[in-house]
Amino acid sequence: MMLAGFLRGKPVEMVKCVTVDLEVPANAEIVLEGYVELGEMRREGPFGDHTGYYSLADDYPVFHVTCVTQRRDPVYATTIVGPPPMEDFYMGKAIERIFLPLLRLQLPEVRDMCMPAEGIFHNLMLVSIRKSYPGHARKVMSAIWGTGRRCFSKCIVVVDEDVDVQNLSEGRVAGAEQYRPGARHPVHHGPDRFAWIMPAAS
């Protein structure tokens, strides 16, 4: 609700639910109330994923619905999932631009970022920074992995501020010309992820 209030420029009006002790937005289109029993799982899937592939069937928690409320003639918002770029690409690009100022509040050295469709948005992040000291790129990359959903970024490419990360050709050239894995600027390993640190940016 904090993000919704930030985007609207005013607080979101909330109301109490009918069957559970929670509040929901007063103008929500559809509200599903219910509960989840700890440990109760059921097999679901496979699902078509935004990567253009199917995710495997797996066990997921079961949600027991106790009440459904809705507006008169509610709108059910959804997207079509398929091989990228689809609708979610444009949503991802909007999120990238909306969150850049917030990221820069935490990391003022960040000049720009790009999460291209080629990386399925969260898997690849190109970041340009204004470097102030050796190792600055490592600090930025570690901080990015510590900011909410960006922990899912599998590859972060950090470049100097003079590289236009929105121009993927320019970003690729900078990476190809300067990347030296395992040399003076090593690959940063984490759980299921890595990052390119450009010599000039590191």
CA distances from 115 to 30, 93, 108, 146, 191 (A): 31, 7, 19, 17, 20
- Tokens for 150, please give them: 């960006």
164 is an active site residue: no
Predicted local distance difference test score (pLDDT) of residue 189: 59
Predicted local distance difference test score (pLDDT) of residue 44: 93
Predicted local distance difference test score (pLDDT) of residue 187: 61
The stretches in the chain having pLDDT less than 50 are 192-202
Predicted local distance difference test score (pLDDT) of residue 26: 94
116 Cβ contact partners less than 8 Å away, ≥ 6 residues apart: 124, 126, 168
CA quadruple 135, 136, 142, 146: dihedral, nearest 10: 160
Predicted local distance difference test score (pLDDT) of residue 146: 82
Predicted local distance difference test score (pLDDT) of residue 173: 53
Q: List the catalytic residue out of 21, 49, 73, 88.
A: 49
Tokens 């590191």 sit on residue: 202
